[in-house]
Every structure is written in structure tokens, then in C-alpha cells.
């Protein structure tokens, strides 16, 4: 399917001339308060009050300019602008699919680019699929990101920036909870969030803050290929909803599709899931299952899946395989997917098929891959030095 001609290569690379002033837009409340005081712009006694004011401007109103902060005096505005910035990272490319899906290629730093996707009509209103790493170390055989070497983990600020850029583009600063287009966040973009848990947790703390973007933690889902030792910490630190990329019902096949399974096989993974903090019928874990023709899509495997999930409050998401250039699999036939889904339905799992979205702009699950190449640490330091100059 040809992509709509809405792809825009937007700006030349300005990152090399970006200022070295620290950015306040991706800090937690505590970090923000500390930065204000340490810089000398705000006295310690007023830190709490000023942090509250700035927090609302940055995270509720979405301003990127200190001079828009009308309850902050002109002198303080000027002194903040001297010391700090609220700039967004640069959107290098923006694409809009014929089905309304939007995809942004964002340059976080020279050579560090990630993709973020907004999908309408998913969740309560629409979901933003954010990336947690540039590339991925886990080479799942059906995933485009898996073909790209890990460049690096994203910082909490870079994760939050993806949400801010989406809200800029959707015109949602501020937005009442009832009529916002961006109602859910899924960590299903590039990378394995549980290999970057501290930054992911910090980002969730910022995004869910009630006086800011105020996305409920129950509308934030973290998807993992199964990093079992981090599951408990994920639940305790974030109270986010959990999604597990299962994709196979036996270890031989899962070892092949999701190589991390060799380290944490299915039985170990399921024990970890059962122990996930806060799991209940109202807060179910989602099992993702990509439909690969002739590989994992038989009725016997549907029944095996039901068996595996016995006693676990669970939902199932069948994902029709999204092909990418050179991918070694084919998506299961629609009839096969329906037969598989019908078996799950009869066992009480409602509407488990996920409609593919944004396929025409390669924005669907597992199709994301930036051109960022892993670069030597010495080269990166040189680029960062140039960036800061």
C-alpha cells in the first residue's frame, strides 16, 4: 500500500547548535526543585511553591518558553531562561497514515533517533506507543527493531519528550481527561523497557502526575519480552499495567522466536507473572501473541495458550504479523487467525485480535527501526561535546 504523501523531512539537523543549558522538561518534581535551588535562581524556602508553578506550566500547559509563565515575575523568567531551556528534541520526520496513525522520527542527539507512534481508537481514545531504547539487544526473529543493534537507553527526559511532542502535534495542552485524544501510553515502541527500568519508572512518575499530563497509571502499559527478575520491581515502582510478549506456547519454539526465553523459559516467566504486584481481575496482564503463518497458529497452540493462562487474570492480544523489508515470516491467513481467536473466545477471552494500524507508514507493532547506528563511545563523546559547544 503506498503511503500517503504526508511524510515530511522537517528540519535540518540543528542539534549541533543546541544550547548547553539544562532542560527542565523531563525532570521529576524532586529533580526540578533541586535544579532550581542549585542554580541559584530560586531560594530554598520558595522551592516548593516555584516547583509547583513551573510544573503546571511545563506539564499541564506544555509551554516551551519561560516568558509564557504569567504567574512568574519577569525577573525570574529571565533568570530561568539564562540558566535553563524547555526546548523539545527535534522532530526530523512526521508521517500520517490513511487510518489516522501518526509517526514521528525524533532526534534526541546526534545519531540518536527514535520512532514514536500515535494510534487513534485504541484504549479509551487513542494510544501513544513510546520507545524506551534506541535499537534493542534482544534479537526476536520477527521484530524489525531486533535487527538493529542497541545504540543506547533513552533517558526519562527523552521518554517524556515523546509524549510532549505527541501532545504538541495533537493540540492537547492542556486536555481534560474526558476529551483527550491521547488517553493511553504503551511501551511497545523500540527497545526492551525492563532493560531500562529506572528511566522508564521515572518517566511514568512524570507522565502520571496529577497536576501535569495526568495519565492514570492504569492507562500505561509496559510490554516486555520477559525479563523475569525485573517484573516485581516494575510493578512496585510504576503500578503500570503489564503486557508479556509470549508468542509461543512451548520452549523450543519460544527459544527461537524470543531468544531471551533461553534464559527465562515459559514456566519461570509464568511464575513471575503470577507474582506481579497488583494483578487482579480488574488489572489483568495482557499476553501478546504474534500470528505467524505455519509457525505458531494452529488450533492445538490456541488450546495450549488457554492452558498456560489458567489461574492468571489475563487478556490476550493476537497481533497479525506486520511484515518489514526482508522479514522471514508471513502473517497467518485471516481465517486461521479467526479460528484461533474463536477457540480463545469460547474459553472466555473476548475480542482478542488487534487490528493492524499504520501499516502503510511502517508504524505498526514491530516495524519500527531508526537509521541510528551503534557508534563508538569515543565518537559519541565527540558529537556530544560538539552538541554542548
Least Cα distance to 216 among 177, 271, 247, 272 occurs for: 177
CB-based contact 276:303 (threshold 8 Å)? no
Shortest reach from residue 361's CB to ligand SF4, in Å? 18
Task: Please compute, for residue 251, the number of CA atoms within 13 A of its CA located in the half-sphere on the CB side.
Answer: 10
CB under 5 to 8 A by kind: which of ligand SAH, ligand SF4, none does 321 bind?
ligand SAH
Question: Distance between CA 389 and CA 385 in Å, rounded?
Answer: 6
273-302 binders of ligand SAH (CB under 6 A): 288, 290
In the complex with ligand SF4, the residue whose CB is nearer, 149 or 170, is 149
Least Cα distance to 318 among 257, 259, 365 occurs for: 365
CB-based contact 268:255 (threshold 8 Å)? no
Query: Site residues (CB under 6 A) for ligand SF4?
Result: 136, 138-140, 143, 145-146, 191-192, 225, 245
In the complex with ligand SAH, the residue whose CB is nearer, 160 or 319, is 319
Sole binder of ligand SAH in the list 41, 105, 127, 143 (CB under 6 A): 143
CB under 5 to 8 A by kind: which of ligand SAH, ligand SF4, none does 365 bind?
ligand SAH
Shortest reach from residue 317's CB to ligand SF4, in Å? 13
Shortest reach from residue 370's CB to ligand SF4, in Å? 12
Question: Distance between CA 146 and CA 136 in Å, rounded?
Answer: 6
- The residue of the chain with the least Cβ separation from ligand SAH equals 366
| DSSP conformation letters of 172-185 | -SS--GGG-S--EE
Residue 299, helix vs strand vs coil: helix
User: Catalytic residues, which ones?
Assistant: 115, 365
Shortest reach from residue 270's CB to ligand SAH, in Å? 16
Angle at 11 between CA 8 and CA 13, to 5 degrees: 130
Shortest reach from residue 153's CB to ligand SAH, in Å? 13
CB-based contact 68:57 (threshold 8 Å)? yes
Q: Which helix (H) or strand (E) holds 144?
A: none
230-249 binders of ligand SAH (CB under 6 A): 245
In the complex with ligand SAH, the residue whose CB is nearer, 41 or 290, is 290
363-382 binders of ligand SAH (CB under 6 A): 365-367
CB under 5 to 8 A by kind: which of ligand SAH, ligand SF4, none does 288 bind?
ligand SAH
Residue 279 cell numbers, joined = 494483578
* Per CB under 6 A, 358 contacts ligand SAH: no
In the complex with ligand SF4, the residue whose CB is nearer, 174 or 265, is 265
Q: Which helix (H) or strand (E) holds 268?
A: helix 266-274
CA distances from 258 to 225, 297, 327 (A): 7, 16, 15
What residue ranges in the chain does DSSP mark as E strands? 8-9, 90-96, 102-109, 112-120, 126-129, 133-134, 152-153, 184-187, 220-224, 241-245, 285-291, 314-320
- Contact range with ligand SAH by CB under 6 A, out of 2-10, 29-37, 174-182, 319-327: 319-327
Residue 205, helix vs strand vs coil: helix
Shortest reach from residue 319's CB to ligand SAH, in Å? 4
In the complex with ligand SAH, the residue whose CB is nearer, 92 or 188, is 188
What residue ranges in 130-258 does DSSP mark as E strands? 133-134, 152-153, 184-187, 220-224, 241-245
* Per CB under 6 A, 192 contacts ligand SAH: yes
Cis peptide before 174 (omega within 30 of 0): yes
| DSSP category for residue 155 | P
* Per CB under 6 A, 115 contacts ligand SAH: no
- Contact range with ligand SAH by CB under 6 A, out of 7-15, 32-40, 170-178, 221-229: 221-229
* Per CB under 6 A, 264 contacts ligand SAH: no
* Per CB under 6 A, 322 contacts ligand SAH: yes
* Per CB under 6 A, 162 contacts ligand SAH: no
Shortest reach from residue 34's CB to ligand SAH, in Å? 32
* Per CB under 6 A, 153 contacts ligand SAH: no
Q: Which residues bind ligand SAH (CB under 6 A)?
A: 142-143, 188, 192, 223-225, 245, 288, 290, 319, 321-322, 365-367
Amino acid at each position: 500500500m503506498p503511503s500517503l504523501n504526508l511524510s515530511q523531512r522537517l528540519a535540518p539537523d540543528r542539534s549541533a547548535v543546541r544550547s548547553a543549558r539544562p532542560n527542565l522538561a523531563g525532570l521529576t518534581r524532586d529533580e526540578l526543585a533541586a535544579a532550581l535551588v542549585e542554580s541559584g535562581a530560586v531560594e530554598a524556602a520558595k522551592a516548593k511553591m516555584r516547583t509547583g508553578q513551573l510544573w503546571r506550566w511545563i506539564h499541564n500547559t506544555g509551554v516551551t518558553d519561560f516568558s509564557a509563565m504569567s504567574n512568574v515575575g519577569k525577573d525570574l523568567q529571565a533568570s530561568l531562561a539564562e540558566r535553563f531551556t524547555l526546548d523539545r528534541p527535534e522532530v526530523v520526520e512526521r508521517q500520517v497514515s490513511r487510518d489516522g496513525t501518526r509517526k514521528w522520527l525524533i532526534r534526541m542527539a546526534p545519531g540518536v533517533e527514535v520512532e514514536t507512534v500515535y494510534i487513534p481508537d485504541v484504549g479509551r481514545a487513542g494510544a501513544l506507543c513510546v520507545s524506551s531504547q534506541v535499537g534493542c539487544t534482544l534479537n526476536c526473529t520477527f521484530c524489525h527493531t531486533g535487527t538493529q543493534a542497541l545504540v543506547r537507553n533513552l533517558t526519562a527526559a527523552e521518554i517524556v519528550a515523546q509524549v510532549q511532542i505527541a501532545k504538541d502535534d495533537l493540540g492537547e495542552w492542556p486536555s481534560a481527561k474526558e476529551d483527550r485524544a491521547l488517553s493511553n501510553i504503551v511501551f511497545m515502541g523500540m527497545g526492551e523497557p525492563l532493560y531500562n527500568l529506572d528511566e522508564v519508572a521515572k518517566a511514568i512518575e512524570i507522565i502520571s502526575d496529577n497536576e501535569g499530563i495526568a495519565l492514570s497509571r492504569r492507562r500505561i502499559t509496559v510490554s516486555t519480552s520477559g525479563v523475569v527478575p525485573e517484573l516485581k520491581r516494575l510493578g512496585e515502582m510504576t503500578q503500570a499495567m503489564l503486557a508479556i510478549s509470549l508468542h509461543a506456547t512451548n520452549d523450543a519454539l519460544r527459544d527461537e522466536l524470543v531468544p531471551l526465553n533461553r534464559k527465562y523459559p515459559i514456566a519461570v516467566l509464568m511464575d513471575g507473572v503470577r507474582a506481579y504486584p497488583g494483578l487482579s481481575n480488574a488489572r489483568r496482564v495482557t499476553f501478546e501473541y504474534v500470528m505467524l503463518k505455519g509457525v505458531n497458529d494452529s488450533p492445538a497452540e490456541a488450546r495450549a495458550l488457554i492452558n498456560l493462562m489458567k489461574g492468571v487474570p489475563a487478556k490476550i492480544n493476537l497481533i497479525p504479523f506486520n511484515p518489514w523489508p526482508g522479514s522471514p515470516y508471513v502473517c497467518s491467513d485471516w481465517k486461521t487467525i479467526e479460528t484461533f481467536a474463536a477457540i480463545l473466545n469460547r474459553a472466555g477471552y473476548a475480542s482478542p485480535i488487534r487490528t493492524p494500524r499504520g501499516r502503510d507508514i511502517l508504524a505498526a507493532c514491530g516495524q519500527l527501526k531508526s537509521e541510528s547506528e551503534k557508534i563508538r563511545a569515543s565518537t559519541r563523546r565527540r558529537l556530544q561535546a560538539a552538541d554542548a559547544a
